[in-house]
């Protein structure tokens, strides 16, 4: 009672076409099936070439050299300059004025150091960003750049220059904002806010991708120890710990979204029909979106509501 398929002889078997609810497989179905469910993140061997972090380090060193050239201690300071016979105009201010072997506070302020009154009264908002590229001295820039090399290279290899660059800049601004809120009538310079943002992002990355780590507790304890040691540095004189905290919180919140890896069982809506008995599963979970919203709110509040000024002291970040 069935129809004879076109192109067959009357003696051939009768063909009955059955319509299934599942799409008819095509030669590309196998590829689409495999693409629908990504391999576990820890099985991916893709590594990004780390060029951004070395570039940032180079820029910071070059900027410090330029600052020392402009500072010109022998011509602008009444005190004896450190290393003047050898370094000439690159000589450092006296250790009494700057124990970190660097320029004067006036030079740093002129070139973009963070100072509350300059930002609020003179509307020099650009100082929130420019202070990240200035350092108080040779010891300061050396410590920060070694830390950036240690922390940043691994992150850039894992997540690429776009996300790490965004984390670095946003964390630096977040650190500057909190510093402006609590450390006023003083100057503050350094990349520590951005560096602490990367540390905070490492912590949130560990938590949000917890299932893919083998030595979970060991990794967590090691990272927490590094963070605590760096936070302890903020107790020392002339260290702006508010910038550290602000950068850390900013990086921690953004890391939950920017450093998320595809979770097990992630299936896109487009590819779900090719998998029997499955429904689309989001790449991101609800709490990750919550952290994104919270981080945006915190940054917005910091930008809009930082208050007036009050006396304080100098701070090196």
Best CA proximity match to 89, nearest among 105, 65, 116, 111: 65
CA distance 247 to 163: 16
CA distance 132 to 144: 11
Active-site choice (180, 192, 204, 295): 192
Q: Which residues contact 67 (CB under 8 A, 6 or more apart)?
A: 102, 103, 107, 108, 111, 134, 135
CA distance 188 to 128: 10
Q: Which residues contact 174 (CB under 8 A, 6 or more apart)?
A: 193, 197, 246, 247, 249, 250, 251, 298, 299, 302
CA distance 13 to 245: 78
192 is annotated as an active-site residue: yes
244 is annotated as an active-site residue: yes
Give, in degrees to the nearest 5, the angle at Cα 170 between 109 and 186: 25
Active-site choice (244, 279, 282, 312): 244
Catalogue the active-site residues.
192, 244
């Amino acid at each position: 009672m069935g129809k004879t398929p076109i192109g067959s002889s009357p003696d051939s078997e009768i063909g009955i076409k059955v319509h299934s609810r599942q799409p008819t497989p095509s030669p590309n179905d196998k590829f689409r099936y495999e693409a629908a469910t990504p391999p576990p993140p820890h099985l991916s061997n893709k590594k990004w070439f780390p060029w951004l972090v070395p570039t940032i380090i180079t820029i910071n060193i070059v900027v410090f050299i330029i600052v020392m050239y402009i500072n010109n201690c022998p011509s602008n300071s009444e005190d004896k300059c450190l290393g003047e016979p050898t370094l000439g105009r690159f000589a450092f201010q006296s250790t009494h004025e700057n124990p970190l072997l660097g320029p004067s506070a006036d030079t740093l302020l002129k070139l973009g150091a963070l100072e509350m009154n300059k930002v609020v009264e003179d509307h020099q908002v650009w100082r929130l960003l420019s202070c990240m590229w200035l350092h108080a001295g040779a010891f300061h820039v050396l410590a920060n750049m070694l830390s950036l090399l240690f922390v940043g290279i691994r992150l850039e290899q894992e997540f690429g220059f776009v996300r790490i660059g965004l984390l670095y800049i946003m964390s630096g601004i977040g650190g500057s904002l909190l510093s402006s809120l609590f450390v006023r009538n003083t100057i503050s310079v350094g990349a520590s806010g951005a560096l602490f943002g990367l540390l905070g992002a490492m912590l949130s990355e560990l938590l949000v991708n917890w299932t893919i780590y083998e030595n979970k507790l060991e990794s967590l304890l090691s990272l927490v120890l590094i963070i605590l040691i760096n936070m302890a540095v903020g107790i020392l004189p002339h260290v702006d710990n508010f910038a550290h905290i602000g950068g850390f919180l900013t990086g921690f919140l953004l890391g939950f979204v920017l450093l998320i890896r595809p979770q097990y069982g992630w299936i896109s809506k487009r590819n779900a029909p090719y998998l029997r008995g499955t429904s689309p599963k989001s790449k991101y979970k609800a709490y990750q979106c919550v952290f994104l919203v919270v981080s945006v709110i915190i940054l917005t509040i910091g930008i809009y509501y930082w208050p007036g000024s009050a006396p304080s002291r100098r701070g090196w970040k």
